[in-house]
Amino acid sequence: MDPWIKMRCGLATNPKTILIADKTGLDRFSVVGRLHTLWAWADSVTENGNDITVTSSFIDELVSCLGFASALREAHWLKGQEGCLTLPKFEEHNGQSSKRRSVTADRVKAFRQNKTSKKSNAPGVTDVTPPLPLPLISSSLIPKLEEWVSEAKEKHPDWRRIDVEAAWHHYNSNGWKVGKNPVKIWRSCLATCYLNWRKDNPGARGPISSEPAKPLPPILEPKNWRERLPEMFAADPIFANYVDPETPWYRIDRANQRRIAEWLCVNPLTGH
């Protein structure tokens, strides 16, 4: 059986994923792919996610994105000192013990289903008992994005809009459920989302704007940056793994564009 890891369905809209994308200049789907690479590697070298004897620079090199480890720390998905790193709650979702629990749960479920299927009616008798309908939240109780943002702006003005919208998209994508249970009162759900966000971002402040979140301004291409790349590679050989001199400027990750601009001592937003 090939190795495998568990990943949540709503990872692309998770507020922490959005935070990492904002810090690194990557799109959300690029962040999800790099998280898969990191967690799959960690699953092969640790059982519980603790005492991983590598540095942040190795993680950056592993996922080919400078500053990725730093963004993980801000999202509280990476802790510890250099040479002794920790992936919080790794054992709850992956690691050998978690996988054994998951496989055991699947076996027990299959056994029970097989046992139930054998308890059928007598031959020739058709079971006409209709299945019980699954409880679903009424469409009239589902808030629209504007209504959700308006409520958050009124009750929690320090909640950043990008995280407010991410919370709405998370529940909208899973059918407005908490676990297997439907959301009954969406305002209570919003309050819980805010408390979780405040717990994960104790120092964050970001008043909600009535305008949608604006994209980050582009980092303009500095003059003669290709000619200066050999100097950068000589000063920082690891950086050569992140940037190909033949790659067009607009195809380079935002974090690496900023690194080049700052090394050349130019303003990243003006290119001069």
Secondary structure string (H, E, C) spanning the chain:
CCCCCCCCCCHHHCHHHHHHHHHHCCCHHHHHHHHHHHHHHHHHHCCCCCCECCCHHHHHHHHCCCCHHHHHHHCCCCEEECCEEECCCHHHHCHHHHHHHHHHHHHHHHHHHHHHHHCCCCCCCCCCCCCCCCCCCCHHHCCCHHHHHHHHHHHCCCCCHHHHHHHHHHHHHCCCEECCEECCCHHHHHHHHHHHHHHHCCCCCCCCCCCCCCCCCCCCCCCCHHHHHHHHHHHCHHHHHCCCCCCCHHHCCHHHHHHHHHHCCCCCCCCC
Residue 29's pLDDT is: 92
**What is 11-93's CATH topology?**
Arc Repressor Mutant, subunit A (1.10.10)
What mean pLDDT is predicted for residues 245-255? 83
Which pLDDT tens digit goes with each residue over 53-76? 889 899 999 999 999 999 999 998
**Which comes out higher in pLDDT, residue 44 or 231?**
231
What mean pLDDT is predicted for residues 154-173? 88
Residue 18's pLDDT is: 92
Would the pLDDT of 209 be above 50? no
What mean pLDDT is reported for the chain? Answer: 78
What mean pLDDT is predicted for residues 108-115? 71
